[in-house]
Structure 1
């Protein structure tokens, strides 16, 4: 019975080579990374992490150090569902979202990593195992890039092996978005998978207008057209806009996804393993989507999420996120001719360079 003997949080501010931007979060010169290192009595270690757009990392760190620690020490690390429920209900009254669920996500990820390592299996096979090659797109955070730089960024991503591209929309004038999407479609050619992401910019009426304006450009999906709280409005966008809709990166629970899916408010459910509660609820969300015959996609944390999508038959595209950790891990995600390849290493296979991270400790 592998008893948990220690939990070591880490809190870092990771600078970005280029300041990123979208329609609602503004400029992002850095992101904040929170890590968890769990160890059992045999000395095995599991690692998890979560991240934010540059704020709230200190709150997550405090929750891990104060509120989560005493709920885990001495517990059986194999009983992941039991531990998930213990942490969830232990924080429910003051939590149920925000920094608490991000902290829980990192812990749950570490528990699954630990279990897979103890069993000597890659995470994707432990979770069921379907196909280690997952279609992958490059998720640009590029709303304010001039058009020439946007197209140059796209060419760089094509050289890296990507065969699907996502760009940001949500500029001040819809006509500007239409011009940029039109240029991107012309640059990529007909039939090339192209997604656009509005980051919650619009009301339902504005989103419907935008979706209709984008229809001639054969988009794979329009992502997050409205705020996550407007379930009825997003269902209207699905019905009246004429484009598939991806959403879910700002939903925090399985039950949030249930509400959105049953309302007909999403075509591509899009959980983020670092903020939906971890691997445990991510897999439940993926199976819920399967029950509704919906393809599941993902947001962020591509080095871990490739395992989760590799485990389910209804996976669509993995997002390779702009907040990448390539400079701080031993083996970044492998992209081969449009597919991300889930590694065969035990666990999720991420080996952090802890010495390099120490230099950017927050």
Structure 2
């Protein structure tokens, strides 16, 4: 089998309402669908979510790097020779989302070719993941109303609160209102998207002590090395590296230097191959992992479920899997469903992301 072509198709689907957080805001999913074609007529599919305010990649840059740089060097290779494909991609620095998407498409292609679900090829630990829902920048009572609604409609009992606002009192109030309104059995954790300094993060931890918060994700920029290390040492809960750990090398640097003591894995930026390397590093060092979200579509969320359900360590915590509910539509022919707070893997060859051709034609922006 040989790779005969790679497509990078830009498309845009609006959100129901703008999503706001410390590092930016989005009102449209302007993503890139990557398809790898072979001479046996089998195609692998994956979704790339550009996040210029986090990683510097844009819809245009992902399309260009995939089609103009990677494709000419990858066409003609056997899609099962992933190391050769990765050697090609490593020659270009950064561009993590573009590389991760190509990798997921290769795994999808492998599963389709072998007639096996990719979650089994990766490990096959379980067949579903618990769902964590992200709560964005809103007044405290609106956040509580949303959390209660998602608990009632979808059975979700874990919520990630986006923080990093100034004044700090806005986020502190939200923590107290959510805990009082949701009760002690609902899990709450924070993600500041580098919105605070390390010292501000410590103030928030002090003023939310006793609320049972479980994690503090990316409270400040990793460049704030000394203060961040002090925060990790003093924090009563794990400090999670996210934007600071897109690669296995970054994860090892932050863990060994004391910049964090837990890791958020996002398949959208690492693919399945590097995500496996990051997971092995974390399990070897005995640190917790979470499965994160790049404000993914259903195609991207399905990839997260596929990897997260494949491993015991990534299945322990709820994965951030519900952002697709904020989209007005999606490309999947068979939509994802959240039942009893969980999303199931697809027991079909590959990842299971069958694309609705009519919807792709409607939303693509290159025609």
Q: Give the match for residue 288 of structure 1.
A: 281
Q: Give the match for residue 357 of structure 1.
A: 360
Measured after TM superposition, the shift of residue 323 of structure 1 is: 4.8
Measured after TM superposition, the shift of residue 101 of structure 1 is: 2.1
* 1:37-56 equivalences in 2 (<5 Å): 37-53=35-51, 56=58
Deviations 1:289-348 (A, max 9, x none): 110112221222321111111122212221115256663212333433233322212111
Deviations 1:114-156 (A, max 9, x none): 001111111110012211232321123x21x233322222122
> Which region of structure 1 is more displaced relative to structure 2, 240-249 or 218-227?
240-249
> Which region of structure 1 is more displaced relative to structure 2, 283-292 or 201-210?
201-210
Measured after TM superposition, the shift of residue 240 of structure 1 is: 1.3
> Which region of structure 1 is more displaced relative to structure 2, 331-340 or 291-300?
331-340
- Out of 110, 129, 134, the position equivalent to 1:134 is 129
Aligned length: 350
CA distance in 1, matches of 2:197, 2:277: 30
Q: Give the match for residue 296 of structure 2.
A: none
> Which region of structure 1 is more displaced relative to structure 2, 11-20 or 316-325?
316-325
* 1:31-110 equivalences in 2 (<5 Å): 31-53=29-51, 56-89=58-91, 91=92, 96-97=93-94, 100-110=95-105
SS in 2 for 1:6: strand
* 1:249-328 equivalences in 2 (<5 Å): 249-276=243-270, 278-300=271-293, 301-315=300-314, 316-323=317-324, 327-328=330-331
Distance change in 2, residues 1:108/1:6 (3 Å) = same
SS in 2 for 1:305: helix
Q: Give the match for residue 21 of structure 2.
A: 22
Measured after TM superposition, the shift of residue 16 of structure 1 is: 0.6
Measured after TM superposition, the shift of residue 6 of structure 1 is: 1.2
CA distance in 2, matches of 1:170, 1:313: 31
CA distance in 1, matches of 2:226, 2:306: 32
RMSD value, Cα: 1.9
Structure 2 segments unaligned to the other structure (5+ residues): 294-299
- Out of 210, 227, 236, the position equivalent to 2:230 is 236
Q: Is the 8 A contact 2:141 2:177 kept in 1?
A: no
SS in 2 for 1:201: coil
CA distance in 2, matches of 1:252, 1:172: 27
TM-score, normalization by structure 1: 0.91
Measured after TM superposition, the shift of residue 250 of structure 1 is: 4.7
SS in 1 for 2:305: helix
TM-score, normalization by structure 2: 0.90
Measured after TM superposition, the shift of residue 231 of structure 1 is: 4.5
Q: Is the 8 A contact 1:46 1:112 kept in 2?
A: yes
Distance change in 2, residues 1:146/1:209 (3 Å) = closer
Q: Give the match for residue 346 of structure 1.
A: 349
Structure 1 segments unaligned to the other structure (5+ residues): none
The answer on 1:151 being equivalent to 2:144 is yes
Distance change in 2, residues 1:332/1:60 (3 Å) = same
Distance change in 2, residues 1:230/1:307 (3 Å) = farther
Measured after TM superposition, the shift of residue 4 of structure 1 is: 0.3
CA distance in 2, matches of 1:41, 1:190: 56
SS in 2 for 1:218: coil
CA distance in 2, matches of 1:137, 1:259: 27
Q: Is the 8 A contact 2:125 2:310 kept in 1?
A: yes
CA distance in 2, matches of 1:239, 1:321: 32
The answer on 1:119 being equivalent to 2:118 is no
Measured after TM superposition, the shift of residue 41 of structure 1 is: 1.0
Measured after TM superposition, the shift of residue 280 of structure 1 is: 0.7
> Which region of structure 1 is more displaced relative to structure 2, 334-343 or 288-297?
334-343
Q: Is the 8 A contact 1:7 1:69 kept in 2?
A: yes
Distance change in 2, residues 1:298/1:232 (3 Å) = farther
Measured after TM superposition, the shift of residue 352 of structure 1 is: 2.1
